[in-house]
């Protein structure tokens, strides 16, 4: 049994994999104690993507030690041997973004990877499999909250994300504007990468708002468990390295 964890500041997702069986659990508030309720006793490998605060990471580490004491734990980090990046400071690149890009790294394919969550991240992967950089915007809900919190007159009960056409009331004006900004940015990134690479560009969507965006980006692939695929690739590479080191010994 293998356990894969995506730990953020606002949620925590767990995947348990046993052969072809996948069990998924997601919490809006990261709670490592969920392991006591769900984790099978035979977890042998754990791979973690974490962008959480140090205290949350430490709590997860303690929970793993208590509930998966025999497991080998791998904390994923940006590793330019696995996939190079043009980030000036690779250590400042969010590991979740890097893992999502790693999951889409295919020989000869240029890809724009979009994670539509609390923030909207847009990352470019070249034909050669290099992370070229990207863009970050507030997500749909965060844009709505920013306007509601900081404007006295722009008040609305909820956002209308039904389309990018002209908004006929405040909720639609805010929601449609946010949606159009995101769709336009993604389309511009796809066009730019295609011009740079001289090839057609694949577009991959993940994250909680991916379904909303896909309505207006019908050519995109929706891959809800993209980070899981990135963690699987990362763990496979780590295990391969370990096997190589043992062979040398």
CB crowding 152-182: b at 16 or more within 10 Å, else e: eeeebeebbbeebeebeebbbbbbbbbbebb
Contact 206, 116 (CB under 8 A): yes
d(CA 5, CA 39): 12
C-alpha angle 47-49-53 in degrees, rounded to nearest 5: 130
- Helix (H) / strand (E) containing 34: helix 34-38
Question: Any idea which residues carry the catalytic annotation?
Answer: 96
HSE (CB half, 13 Å, CA atoms) of 200? 3
Residue 56: C-alpha distances to residues 7, 33, 144, 195 (Å): 9, 12, 27, 42
């Amino acid at each position: 049994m293998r356990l894969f964890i995506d730990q953020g500041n606002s949620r925590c997702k767990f995947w348990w994999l046993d052969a072809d069986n996948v069990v998924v659990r997601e919490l809006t508030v990261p709670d490592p104690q969920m392991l006591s309720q769900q984790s099978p006793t035979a977890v042998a490998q754990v791979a973690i993507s974490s962008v959480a605060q140090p205290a949350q990471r430490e709590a997860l580490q303690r929970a793993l030690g208590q509930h998966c004491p025999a497991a080998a734990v791998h904390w994923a980090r940006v590793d330019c041997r696995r996939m190079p990046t043009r980030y000036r400071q690779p250590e400042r690149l969010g590991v979740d973004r890097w893992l999502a890009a790693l999951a889409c790294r295919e020989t000869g394919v240029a890809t724009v990877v979009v994670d539509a969550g609390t923030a909207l991240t847009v990352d470019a992967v070249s034909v050669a499999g290099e992370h070229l950089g990207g863009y970050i915007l507030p997500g749909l809900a965060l844009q709505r909250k920013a306007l509601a919190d900081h404007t006295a007159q722009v008040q609305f009960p909820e956002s209308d994300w039904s389309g990018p056409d002209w908004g006929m009331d405040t909720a639609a004006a805010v929601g449609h504007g946010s949606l159009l900004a995101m769709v336009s940015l993604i389309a511009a990134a796809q066009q730019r990468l295609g011009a740079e690479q001289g090839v057609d560009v694949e577009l991959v969507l993940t994250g909680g708002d991916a379904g909303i965006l896909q309505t207006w980006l019908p050519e995109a692939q929706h891959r809800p468990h993209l980070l899981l695929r990135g963690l699987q690739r990362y763990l496979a590479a780590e295990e391969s390295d370990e096997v190589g080191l043992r062979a040398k010994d």
